[in-house]
Amino acid sequence: MTDHIITFNAGSSSIKFALFSVGADDLLQRAAAGQVDGLGGDARLEAKAADGRVLHDAAAPAGKLNNERDALAAILALMQARFPQLRLAAVGHRVVHGASRFSTATLIDATMLATLRTLVPLAPLHLPNNIAAIEATRRAFPGVPQVACFDTAFHRGGGFLREAYALPRDYFDAGIRRYGFHGLSYEYIAGRLAELSPREAAGRVIVAHLGNGASMCALRGGQSIDTTMGFSALDGLPMGTRCGAIDPGVLLHLIETHGYEAARLSDLLYKESGLKGLSGISHDMRELEASDDPRAGEAIAYFCTRVRREAGALAASLGGVDAFVFTGGIGENSGRVRAEVLAGLEWLGIAFDRDAQPEGREDRVVSVPGSQARAWVIATDEEAMIARHALRVIRAGAQGAITPSIPARHTDASLP
């Protein structure tokens, strides 16, 4: 019987998951993947096998998938039904914020989980969902090792100059620092580029993770040396509904002059800004690209301008650029965004021909032959990184796989 690792990536209204088999020499092979979208509303469970076969794709009956616990119950029941000999070696979780407490993937126990709860104020819209997923899977599989994989961990170790804000020193000591996010994605891209082009990966690389959440990272020798996000996932680039970098004086003005309180500010900055706010149409780049409304074009142009601006700052941190990588939903799929970004980065040595851009889902070069610095499109795989970290942690401390039985409340869960 083959051991498996299942990974969970819990968002505000969705949960992504993937199932990996553990083969000889601990080689991980994806067996299935999917997601639950629209929790609490028009929820839908989708899952595909590694060969593309649809395992499940249906909307949930009303009231069946209201929260993380419901979603996890449905996911686990589906995996048990489709893989009846399933034996879990570990469960891996993406956890958005580890603050200064966690700088590497960590085995979850009661003490660690209690510490994680104290960090909720650092990421109030993300950590509660991450914790809910952990609690639900611990109940489902009480004997299986659970591993937390932190999105901030990849950026840790930069020291005072890279992490401090220009506030009194006591704030830095209290944890008010630049942490950075999307670390699991950047770690995967660093490893994948090393497979595709070792020379470039060993040099100076800018990675643009562009999606509903967006950030950029400067890599030198595969290590993070600078990134656009800071203390929270609000900083840096404008995103689907998040504002990105903003003059803090604007926030003071809204508080002092317009009577904004924390909850109203949070909704504005996290849920009503970014592409959605700029366009007044949608947070979805695909909808904006399909629109002939001039506001949609302005929002796209603003987004691309900010990507170019941050690229210049990261190039300064690196002292030059050997490669530029696009990843994430927008970075991998929007030729228009890639073209508009790279058309303004010729000074970095990237020769880009918007009329000769190869398409497809495979990892590929999108700069012209002979470009001093090459531009790549590389599909990210955060789930693979979570599985790798989970396997490493249990190999370091666990005594082998455990075969769990799913309690009745999970096996009886109705699939949508």
What are the catalytic residues?
151
- The packing angle between helices 127-140 and 68-82, to 10°, is 40
Phi-psi bin for 319: left (phi > 0), alpha (psi -120 to 50), beta?
A: left
Q: Which DSSP helix (H) or strand (E) runs through 112?
A: helix 110-118
> Integer distance in angstroms from the first to the last C-alpha of the chain?
29
Between CA 109 and CA 101 the distance in angstroms is 15
What dihedral do alpha carbons 87, 89, 93, 99 form, nearest 10°? 170
DSSP 92: E
Phi-psi bin for 360: left (phi > 0), alpha (psi -120 to 50), beta?
A: left
Nearest to 88 by CA among 132, 131, 44, 142: 142
R_g of the chain, CA atoms, integer Å:
22
- Written as six digits, the tokens of 292 are 């002939």
Nearest to 377 by CA among 364, 368, 387: 364
Q: Can you say whether the dihedral through the CA atoms of 28, 220, 374, 244 is positive or negative?
A: positive
- List alpha helices for 149-209, DSSP H: 159-163, 169-173, 183-196, 198-201
Give the residue carrying structure tokens 């504005």: 268
Give the residue carrying structure tokens 């009303």: 62
Between CA 54 and CA 35 the distance in angstroms is 12
**Which residue type is seen at 153?**
A
